[in-house]
Structure 1
């Protein structure tokens, strides 16, 4: 048993070193990015003739039952500095059953840059968010389009910083995970795991440098795309029936020969995706199995891997203390500490508390349980419920 824990500890040390290096390679929003040799070259027409010397940015916001979020979201967008850009804000009320439209109109009365659209009947086979985004794309006039979820809040420099990075890239897609605000216990435990999975496993620099779609991580909560790349990739019409539509869109952009960048945006954006434990569970359950490519072998691998690295050392530590085995306790404690520190570093990088890393064994256990629940829901055909809609 000591040998197994020694191997686990060594692996965790290597992962810690990789994580520190990996996070240092993430581009920052507001900084230019360098073009890669594999990227296709395009002749860009003059897009400024209608707007002086300022590029037009379209902010596109799908909203379904977002009464509690949409007003603050819109107010954060309208409060952004726009000295170097022109701005249009397009919102679609996607068959909301609450006071979403009323909240939108309150902000519209104060800012004429906002245009409101009403969602049409969902076509057969389409999923709701993809169709809402598709409808917004039909009305966008900007050079770049920024899709933003209603629970996202922007800081004052966010839009201008986004355009600096976008225009240096010239084409393609840029995304980033907002700083995740959390309140309830399961939010604290589970929500930061999204950033952990990326920082711990995915070589961030390869998202930008490699044309291979396997190197991808994006979020539909904050996703910026050049209008021509949207057309070349097929847009949401191409991925109309995918639950994880943001990843599929990014994959299509890469397959079209355009770049994708995952940027550090947490200083410019924040979001509270969920408000209670039930929402956390159902929200992750809806996406997590689809995020594995619906691959049962990957589900099994993740379960074993996370159990060995983050849960097994805790079990062994408790057992070694109870049975008086100091050597085993030392290796178990070392493995636990390294895993916690690594999680804490990623949390701190993402704008959360370093001390959340102390809950790493619990976070890993919750993630495994949600993944298994998501897999079972797919197997038994019950699907997933979110905002009044059922997803298969």
Structure 2
């Protein structure tokens, strides 16, 4: 029987890790900042900025919600058409046409091998006149008070950047398995309040889907011009801002913003493929994180199938943590949380696929090859 002791120890340790993650997510759920539901009018000039590329079929709801923002007596809307090859330019010009405070500009091409978003955001920032800059993706639909609420939170906390994390609209099996891991990951692993001020790269998080930043702080850290070579430009930007002495991080945007990132498995696979290889800093870092995830969230459930009580406890801890984060961020709880081990396994497989594509220089995004990233 002694030959099984290392296995039992490994399962027990994985269960302890899962339980610790769940406890931390519960604490984070109480610490997570939330924009006020009834904000006062914003007295500052605010620039609402949206980069778009080949989004003709989905930009309409997002742009309409941006144009309809309330409590912003002094605001501008600038949409940058990032070299779209479809009808995106015509669509956004038609939608912006009736609004005197809105305009559409044609962006310049990024350097070869770049995904282009940071370059597009840099162009938008250089055109903006506001003391607060708000970057919104073309798949994010905002509540009418979303920007005013986020600016109120930015100013009341004294932070330089807040990133309201939208409620993720996940439809279809692949999206329901993978998308909830976005908010689960930072609620489980990141000490949110400490991370706001810490300059450590590992304690940084932001989501470029919806980003609200003080203009002076943005320009002071070099802005998006300093991160144009980055695939995860949002993470690179928050790290640059912190190095320059700024503070900021993720806040709860589930009540004021909704995002549907991908329509199906193929979109999801390509979207994660372009960026997962760089999410953990290095190949060794990615391997270590994936091993830890498997240890805590896959090994115990597999052991539970063979009658392990420790394994059953680990599975319960994992499902509980997934449920807590879903409830806190407006996600779907049941029965999705029960498939958490499958979700983690799929994330590990996507990470491996992303690294393989990176090594072979076969990654693309929105028609642009991502090369020169070694």
2:3 aligns with: none
Matched, 1:86 2:74: yes
CA offsets, 1:242-293, max 9 Å, x none?
Answer: 1111111111111111111321111110100110101111111111111111
Q: For 1:16 and 1:376, how far apart are their aligned partners in 2? A: 31
For structure 1, which runs of at least 5 residues remain unmatched after alignment?
32-51, 321-327
2:344 aligns with: 364
Query: Superposition pairs for residues 1-392 of structure 1, below 5 Å?
Result: 1-30=7-36, 54-82=43-71, 85-123=73-111, 126-170=114-158, 172-293=160-281, 295-318=282-305, 320=306, 328-355=307-334, 356-382=336-362, 384-392=363-371
TM-score scaled by structure 2?
0.92
Report the secondary structure of 1:268's partner residue: strand
2:196–2:247 Cα contact (<8 Å) kept: yes
2:114–2:370 Cα contact (<8 Å) kept: no
Stretch moving more, 116-125 or 339-348:
116-125
1:134–1:237 Cα contact (<8 Å) kept: yes
For structure 2, which runs of at least 5 residues remain unmatched after alignment?
1-6
Q: For 2:73 and 2:191, how far apart are their aligned partners in 1? A: 33
Report the secondary structure of 1:88's partner residue: strand
1:92–1:117 Cα contact (<8 Å) kept: yes
TM-score scaled by structure 1?
0.87
Q: For 1:171 and 1:307, how far apart are their aligned partners in 2? A: 35
Stretch moving more, 156-165 or 141-150:
156-165
Alpha-carbon offset, residue 9 of structure 1: 2.4
CA offsets, 1:325-353, max 9 Å, x none?
Answer: xxx43322221121111111112211112
1:127–1:243 Cα contact (<8 Å) kept: yes
Aligned CA RMSD, in angstroms, stands at 2.0
1:5–1:332 Cα contact (<8 Å) kept: yes
1:366/1:238 CA distance change after superposition, 3 Å: same
Q: For 1:12 and 1:388, how far apart are their aligned partners in 2? A: 39
